[in-house]
Amino acid sequence: MPETTLQAPPPPGPLSTLSDDEILFRDNIRQFAEQRLRPRVKEMDEKGVFDHALIEEFFQLGLMGIEIPEQYGGGAGQFFEAILAVEELSRVDASAGVIVDVQNTLVNNALLRWGNEEQKRRYLPRMASGICGAYALSEAGSGSDAFALQTRAELKGNDYVLNGRKLWITNAKEAGLFVLFATVDPAAGYKGITAFIIEKDFPGFVVGKKEDKLGIRASSTCELILEDCRVAQTNVLGEVGKGYKIAIETLNEGRIGIGAQMAGLARGAWEYAGKYAQERKQFGKPLADFQGIQFQIAQMATEIEAARLMVYNAARMKDAGVPFVKEAAMTKLFCSQVAERVTSLAVEIYGGYGFTKDYPVEKYWRDSKIGKIYEGTSNMQLSTIAKLVLNAK
Ligand SMILES: Cc1cc2nc3c(=O)[nH]c(=O)nc-3n(C[C@H](O)[C@H](O)[C@H](O)COP(=O)(O)OP(=O)(O)OC[C@H]3O[C@@H](n4cnc5c(N)ncnc54)[C@H](O)[C@@H]3O)c2cc1C
């Protein structure tokens, strides 16, 4: 019998160490974000519309199907790469970050994990090459209490007929495919919730009003209207009545993505603040010469470092296949707090100029606010963390 030598795994490196492939991937995105995205950010924010040509470039760069296996035309990458992409894009524009985030961490993730082979063959190549995805759980009356949703799906013949309205759906204007949650049996509570794959051209499906928002203005957020929308049974994602599981599990991963969005945007604002502090002179010297300003910039850098390490750790845990629910909730909670603090300080370091739209930092501050709201508010993250650390109900 051949002798097997048991070897201990190599000691883990520093959390912030990236592999050569990851460095190449990140640098490509950074270059794209600087050269192609940054010049468009201000106008897209003002108009509240994301440039479609940039979304096409996301596809060309392989950013919209990062984890999709090669056989379906994707990049066959890891979750960690999706997180790097969200972080890098958000450093320049958090709207760009959330478009890529929703596509990879929610929609593609749901199709990859719960789609059957036929659904994967039908949809994944399109998700990797040109179709934007959206994830529709929230409704006017059900946000934090997501499983109180009212959208109804009734089986009639071979099709489900869906009626109801969804609210706040990111990417809705650009999306060709929606992973949408409805109940097949309101009396069954969360056990009636079922996920459906809906194409934008399905009869009875309409994208409604677009919200005029405080931040991430270029990312579309719309209502969805379903009026006798017929969806073939073959478009049920996963099992009937198991949609709640899909929602819980995809959002657990999504939260790490929002953490990355917040860590990225905090870094973007911090870079502006540091540069400005070295250029702007008061009392005959650069602001950065004053210890009060130095300490603020140092505090911001420290918080960004901690936020980013939490993001990387949670993402690596997910890729390693170990439980990460608590870490994902903590990451989103903390990164959104850091983002709000750092961007607010960046506005202050810019003084009066920071309060105007002629300078970039006020947008970072506006964009940071959403981190505490979507994919579970901060209170909901605290509630998850409390249950896990206290082993409470
Ligand atoms: C820009 C944007 C994009 C979005 N994108 C999407 C998307 O793509 N898909 C999607 O499905 N949804 C999306 N959402 C919806 C988002 O997830 C919800 O807004 C969020 O979950 C909060 O729900 P709500 O707005 O109904 O607030 P509520 O649930 O009404 O909460 C209001 C306040 O009450 C607090 N609260 C509620 N319950 C409790 C409790 N039990 N204990 C303590 N505090 C509590 C909350 O923390 C919050 O502070 C998006 C929202 C926005 C604003």
**Which residue in 311, 295, 196 sits closest to 254, CA to CA?**
311
pLDDT on residue 1:
42
pLDDT on residue 392:
61
- Is 220 close to ligand 1, i.e. is its CB under 6 Å away? no
Residue 289 — pLDDT band, cuts 50, 70, 90?
A: very high
pLDDT on residue 11:
63
Determine the distance separating the centroid of ligand 1 and the alpha carbon of 366, expressed in angstroms.
Answer: 17
Residue whose CA is at the smallest distance from ligand 1 atom 25 = 143
pLDDT on residue 118:
98
* Backbone region of residue 152 per phi and psi (left: phi > 0; alpha: psi in -120 to 50; beta: other values): beta
Residue whose CA is at the smallest distance from ligand 1 atom 31 = 144
How large is the average pLDDT for residues 185-189?
97
Does residue 279 have an active-site annotation?
A: no
Classify residue 76 as exposed, middle or buried by CB count within 10 Å of its CB (0-12, 13-18, 19+).
middle
To test the ligand 1 pocket, which listed residue (174, 258, 377) has its Cβ within 8 A of the most ligand atoms?
A: 377
How large is the average pLDDT for residues 4-32?
83
Residue 393 — pLDDT band, cuts 50, 70, 90?
A: low
Determine the distance separating the centroid of ligand 1 and the alpha carbon of 10, expressed in angstroms.
Answer: 42
* Cα–Cα distance for residue pair 124/114, rounded to 1 Å: 12
Q: How far is CA 356 from CA 47, 53, 282, 340, 347, in A?
A: 17, 28, 19, 18, 9
pTM of the model: 0.97
For 274, other C-beta atoms within 10 Å of its C-beta total: 16
pLDDT tens for residues 158-180?
A: 999 999 999 999 999 999 999 99
pLDDT on residue 7:
59
How large is the average pLDDT for residues 252-273?
98
Determine the distance separating the centroid of ligand 1 and the alpha carbon of 163, expressed in angstroms.
Answer: 22
pLDDT tens for residues 304-329?
A: 999 999 999 999 999 999 999 999 99
For 141, other C-beta atoms within 10 Å of its C-beta total: 11
Task: Extract the tokens encoding 240.
Answer: 């009937």
Residue 391 — pLDDT band, cuts 50, 70, 90?
A: confident
- Is 175 close to ligand 1, i.e. is its CB under 6 Å away? no
* Cα–Cα distance for residue pair 376/15, rounded to 1 Å: 26
Q: Are strands 285-286 and 205-210 parallel, antiparallel or unpaired?
A: unpaired
Total residues belonging to the chain: 393
Q: How far is CA 5 from CA 10, 12, 287, 297, in A?
A: 14, 20, 60, 50
- Is 168 close to ligand 1, i.e. is its CB under 6 Å away? yes
The dihedral of CA 205, 210, 213, 219: what is its sign? Answer: positive
* Cα–Cα distance for residue pair 300/7, rounded to 1 Å: 41
- Look at residue 5 and tell me whether its pLDDT is greater than 80: no
pLDDT on residue 301:
98
Residue 8 — pLDDT band, cuts 50, 70, 90?
A: low
Residue 12 — pLDDT band, cuts 50, 70, 90?
A: confident
What whole-number percentage of the chain has pLDDT above 90? 95
- Look at residue 2 and tell me whether its pLDDT is greater than 60: no
pLDDT tens for residues 215-252?
A: 999 999 999 999 999 999 999 999 999 999 999 999 99
To test the ligand 1 pocket, which listed residue (101, 132, 138) has its Cβ within 8 A of the most ligand atoms?
A: 138
What is the distance of C-alpha 257 from the center of its chain? Answer: 5
Residue whose CA is at the smallest distance from ligand 1 atom 44 = 379
Determine the distance separating the centroid of ligand 1 and the alpha carbon of 333, expressed in angstroms.
Answer: 14
**Residues near 216 by Cβ (< 8 Å), separated by ≥ 6?**
94, 95, 98, 367, 370
Residue whose CA is at the smallest distance from ligand 1 atom 43 = 379
Residue 10, amino acid: P
pLDDT tens for residues 102-146?
A: 999 999 999 999 999 999 999 999 999 999 999 999 999 999 999
Determine the distance separating the centroid of ligand 1 and the alpha carbon of 373, expressed in angstroms.
Answer: 6
pLDDT tens for residues 58-69?
A: 999 999 999 999
